[in-house]
Amino acid sequence: MNLKKRLDIFDRLAAAIPEPTTELHYTSTFELLIAVVLSAQATDKGVNKATAKLFPVANTPGDILAMGETGLKEYIKTIGLFNSKATHIITLCRQLLDKHAGEVPQTREELEALAGVGRKTANVILNTAFGRHTIAVDTHIFRVANRTGIAPGKNVLEVERKLDKWVPKQHKKDAHHLLILHGRYTCIARKPRCESCVIEDLCEYEHKTGHHDDDTAKGATSRFIE
């Protein structure tokens, strides 16, 4: 796939999705961080249901730390892996208070040093909260990048590096959410909705009828990265 075709793809996605943003609900950078940590191997819808009850009660590092691990679990127990996530979040809150005056840091190194925060979560925060041109590769983006031919790769880090290299500069900031939303609602895993896809004629997917059961993400290493 050449640069001209990639530009056309992102131009069309940007026109079709005029306000690309996360579907997680939050009102502060800290709330976003907690929501993203909770979203690993969970749906945004499920996370939003839990945080709708949690955040009105506790939405600062101090509030959640005071709640304790047991108290926090009561609010997030409907989310997958809630036990380990509660442990991570309590530690994360303590780290923010001890090392960052309760504020979410703005560098990758500092973010990745927080409990429960890996490369993907750091990329989401850097992009969504701080406007950096980072692309967090989740299963949707991994699938879309491989299936369309935009940035094929054997693992998420390879796909991330190719996207960083090949996404047109003017679309770098929004590429993350454009690809996630396209993968979530159109280029879905089992039967992509090619008939309603705005980039169908540009896409290099070999089975555009939608009859082929293709989930490219099955081949990903580290399928879910924190």
46, 78 in Cβ contact below 8 A? yes
Q: Along the 226 residues of the chain, how does pLDDT read in single tens digits?
A: 999 999 999 999 999 999 999 999 999 999 999 999 999 999 999 999 999 999 999 999 999 999 999 999 999 999 999 999 999 999 999 999 999 999 999 999 999 999 999 999 999 999 999 999 999 999 999 999 999 999 999 999 999 999 999 999 999 999 999 999 999 999 999 999 999 999 999 999 988 754 444 444 333 333 333 3
What confidence score (pLDDT) does residue 210 get?
47
E strand or H helix at 206: none
Residue 81 main-chain phi, psi, to 5 deg: 60, 30
Six token digits for residue 188:
């879905």
CA distances 95 to 57, 62, 101, 128, 170, Å, are 21, 11, 9, 21, 35
Candidate list 4, 44, 77, 138, residue with the active-site label:
138
pLDDT at 207: 81
Q: In the annotation, is 85 catalytic?
A: no
Determine which one of 5, 85, 98, 120 is catalytic. 120
120 catalytic per annotation: yes
Residue 15 CB contacts under 8 Å (≥ 6 apart), including other chains: 198
- Predicted model pTM: 0.87
